[in-house]
Each structure stands twice: as structure tokens, then as C-alpha cells.
Amino acid sequence: MDLAGLLLFSSALFIAAASPGPGIAAIVARVLGRGPKGAVAFSIGVALGDVVWLTFAVLGLAALAQAFHEVFLVIKYAGAAYLLYIAYKIWTAPALARDVKADSGAEHPAKLMLGGLALTLGNPKTIVFYLALLPTILDLTRITVLGYAELVAATLSVLAVVFGGYIVLAARARQLFTTPRAIRILNRTTGAMLAGAAAAVAAR
């Protein structure tokens, strides 16, 4: 890819990724409710989902997604169910004053990554974005392996910046919540945000 096209793609992706949506809501809610630990693994899963949709768009596999509609439907509802489970756990967590830097429960990184991956794969808005954008900057029938690698690298770099920024901001905001009442408000707010993200995914 030429540099101008790559920069155009990266700029459009940055704007789209930074706009609040189910993925951002889930990442922010996780950090607010459980702290930054685990947020990176979850964000990696979300980003990998973007790479999957990017690959589908590059290879012209939108038709495949339609052919296997039922499979993607299962993935979508699995992602929504996972978010609802997290929302429930946070909503019902004890409202006790605590060290906001402490981890409130260990989760396996692979489980977090799969949760983030399911969330993105269950969001067809992502593939619509790539299918709408890519044809305007390159010929999908003539893309090379190097060009594809450049697109993947640009995607992961942009998402790392966007997700990292949200994680840092959410972690700092979390420092404000130290009393039982504030913790209760935080738990209910983040639980509602995750439930909203799950509803957004399921409704698409």
C-alpha cells in the first residue's frame, strides 16, 4: 500500500474506534469495575476480532459470513451473554471500601481474550466499516501479502493507541471511588454499561 492510503485508512479507523460503542463501553466498564488488570488481554481479544473482520473484507468473504449466518448469530449472542455475566458480577459485588488498585478476582487471560474476540465478532458494524472503507483506498482483488500485513499492523497499532488511552483514563477515574457508597454507584454504573453493550450487540 502507498503511504497516503495507509494513513487515510488509519485515520478513518482511529475515528471509528475512538467513537463510543460496545467494545469501548466493555473495556471502560471492566477497568472501572475491576481495575486495569485484565483489560489488556480483553482489549487484545477485541482487536483480534477487528483483524478477523478486516481479513474477511480483504478476502471478499462477506458472502461467507452471510452463508454461515447461524454461526455468526451464535457468536454474537455468546458475546452478549458474556457481557451480561460480567455485568451481573459487577452489579452484585459487595460495596466495600477497598484499595482501588487491588485486583478483585483473577481471570485467565485466554478467557478474557475470547470474551473480547466474541464481542467484536458479534458486532457486524465492524465488517461493514471495513467493507465500506477498503474499496475506496485499494483494489481488494489485487492486494498483496505485504499490503495485507501493513493493514493488519496499522489496525493493531491504531487500536492499541485508542484502547490504551481509554484504559488509562478509566483507571484514573477509578481512583475517585473509595467509599462504600461510591463503590456501589460505580458497580451499578459499570454493570449497566456492560448490560447496555450486551444489548447493543444482541440488537444488531
Amino acid making up residue 137:
I
Mean pLDDT across 153-176: 86
Residue with cell 461467507: 64
pLDDT tens for each residue of 46-93: 999 999 989 888 887 555 555 666 765 675 676 667 667 767 776 776
What was the pLDDT predicted at 79? 60
Asked if 47 and 155 touch (Cβ cutoff 8 Å), the reply is yes
CA angle 19, 106, 38 (to 5 degrees): 25
What was the pLDDT predicted at 175? 65
Amino acid making up residue 23:
G
Most confident residue range from 78-92, 149-163, 172-186: 149-163
d(C-alpha 187, C-alpha 120), whole Å: 24
pLDDT at 147 over 80: yes
- Write out the DSSP string of 68-128: THHHHHHHHHHHHHHHHHHHHHHHTS------TTS-SS---HHHHHHHHHHHHHT-THHHH
95 to each of 14, 73, 140, how far by Cα in Å?
A: 36, 36, 52
pLDDT tens for each residue of 89-117: 767 766 554 444 444 456 778 888 988 88
What was the pLDDT predicted at 130? 79
pLDDT at 170 over 90: no
Q: By percentage, how much of the chain surpasses pLDDT 90?
A: 12
Q: By percentage, how much of the chain surpasses pLDDT 70?
A: 65
Burial class (CB in 10 A: 0-12, 13-18, 19+), 161: middle
pLDDT at 119 over 50: yes
